[in-house]
Amino acid sequence: MLYVRNFPRPRLAVSACLNQKPVRYNAQTVKDEFILRLLPYCEVIDVCPEVEIGLGVPRDRVIVYLLDDGFGLSQPSTGLELTERMKSFSESFLGSLPEVDGFILKSKSPSCGVSNTSVYKDREGKQFHSKGKGLFAIKVLEKHPMVPVEDEGRLKNPELKEHFLVKIFAIADIRESLGKVRRVKELMDFHQRYKYLLMAHSQVKLKEMGRLVASTKEENLKESLEKYRLLFLQALKRKPSIGQHANTIFHIFGHLSSRLKERERAHFYKLVEGYKGGKVEHRTLIELLKSLAYRFDVDYLLNQAYLEPYPAELI
């Protein structure tokens, strides 16, 4: 029987102009195919910081400029100084958010840009200084250091997109699943399901989490869950290298190799070498491992988040 995973719904805060509301300076939206496909799988909280601080639609250009101790926001055509308004809106909006699993913001924007926002030396926006971030995005990164924060521009990079998807579905899973844990056994089951995904991200954290789970008793379950959640988020922070993926793939293959013929094993090793050399895609190896797990009925592997970290339709 085909193994069907029930995916959680990541809760994302998203710039409202991305496929949703015509709130840009020119009263348009921004069309983005990937975000259009992703959002139906998510619980979306949309926000347009510039509308929220009282700027109209359409509106004149807003810019980021340098201050002695950070960055400011202004509207050169009207002379409006917007720094304090944007900072105070960002504080109150982010403070009132429920627990979120990630952010997708609009690139280049003086408010939302996570990357490529033009920063000027002066509040009239005449002298370009450098590329940086928008004021709202700066606050998001400061207040939510443990969840992924990306913009639609960076998500065009396939590796960043893959890592973003893995993280938002894993973080949503820990938010939903750990909230329901009442017994140590349920924490053990969760940890087992994420063993290889955690291994790919950080062997050190995986061992630390393993020790934590092993030492958890019913009496200290609540305390352990909080520690476990933090370690989980820390483990997912860094994108796994090719070497870390290859190592994880070998560990998974260890459950299957003794049931294969010598020629099949040799073929697998050749594919892994191809992956390390950039000639074989990671997905090819994952699909091969899944096929083998089906062939030998290894439910323990089919249950692993590493083999299907997010809905296949999003690939």
Residues that bind ligand SF4 (CB under 6 A): 15-17, 23-24, 48-50, 106, 109, 111-112
Q: Shortest Cβ distance from residue 50 to ligand SF4 (Å)?
A: 4
Q: Shortest Cβ distance from residue 82 to ligand SF4 (Å)?
A: 11
Q: Shortest Cβ distance from residue 184 to ligand SF4 (Å)?
A: 44
Instruction: Round to the nearest angstrom and report the end-to-end CA distance of the chain.
Output: 23
How far apart CA 266 and CA 249 sit, in angstroms, is 15
Task: Residue 136: name the closest of 151, 153, 155, 124 by CA.
Answer: 151
Indicate the length of the chain as a whole number.
315
Of the pair 17, 293, the CB lying nearest ligand SF4 is at 17
Of the pair 32, 162, the CB lying nearest ligand SF4 is at 32
Of the pair 48, 200, the CB lying nearest ligand SF4 is at 48
Q: Shortest Cβ distance from residue 143 to ligand SF4 (Å)?
A: 17
Of the pair 61, 295, the CB lying nearest ligand SF4 is at 61
How far apart CA 40 and CA 179 sit, in angstroms, is 23
Radius of gyration of the chain (CA): 23
b/e 69-86 (16+ beta carbons within 10 angstroms → b): eebbbbbbeeebebbebb
Please state, as a whole number, how many other Cβ atoms lie within 10 Å of the Cβ of residue 203.
14
Of the pair 14, 147, the CB lying nearest ligand SF4 is at 14
Q: Shortest Cβ distance from residue 17 to ligand SF4 (Å)?
A: 3
